[in-house]
Amino acid sequence: MNHMETVEQLLNSREEHWQKYLKYRREIYSRLLEDRVSGNMISEANWILRRNYVCSDDIGICVRAGDVVYLDYGQAYLNEMGYQHFGLIISICRGKALIIPMTSNAAHYRNAYDPVDNPEGKPHLMRLGKLEGMRKESVLYLNDLKYINTARIIRVMAHLDTDSELYAKIRERMQEIMFSGDVVQSSHE
């Protein structure tokens, strides 16, 4: 049985205490975040199932730098990646991954900086194009780089060779965004 089936079983469980708990949580989520109920519930179930794992190796998922993964970021504040999304692993350190969140949102892709196609684009967004193993073109959120416990990873979707020119450009842009005082943007962009 895969992880998503286990989560679905928990969410649809007939156990009375679990049903009461889910009803209570659904009421809270529906009042606070009507459009986020599903993502919240899945994140909570993932946390319940995975909170005691040291890393993804504990659940049979081996990851390495360059992997594009589908994972659960959990709850988020505004302008942070949250819930279930993709990310690119930059490095692994003691069971944690330095990851750059990504999306296939077409509007974000159009607005992303590109030295040729969109030099006036948003510098914190980097176009990846369509990677092998992915269905759509993707964009990285360079300003949302973070370390995560690799137990948050649900599955590996694709891989980007760490010796590739694209990977080198990603690391360069990541360092520019994270450590350059020249790239200052409004907190509402």
Q: What is the pLDDT of residues 135-169, one digit of tens each?
A: 999 999 999 999 999 999 999 999 999 999 999 99
Contact 138, 131 (CB under 8 A): yes
Among 61, 73, 81, which residue's Cα sits nearest to residue 124? 81
Residue 15 reports pLDDT greater than 90 = no
**Whether residue 153 sits in one domain with residue 76:** yes
Q: C-alpha distances in angstroms, 175 versus 96, 111, 134?
A: 19, 20, 25
Domain count, the chain: 2
**Whether residue 147 sits in one domain with residue 60:** yes
pTM: 0.80
Residue 112 reports pLDDT greater than 50 = yes
Q: Among residues of the chain, what percentage have pLDDT more than 90?
A: 58
**Whether residue 130 sits in one domain with residue 41:** no
**Whether residue 129 sits in one domain with residue 66:** yes
**Whether residue 22 sits in one domain with residue 67:** no
| Domain containing residue 135: CATH number | 2.30.30.110
Query: Please, is 110 exposed, middle or buried when counting C-beta atoms within 10 Å of its C-beta (0-12, 13-18, 19+)?
Result: middle
**Whether residue 159 sits in one domain with residue 69:** yes
User: Which residue segment(s) compose the domain that 98 sits in?
Assistant: 55-179
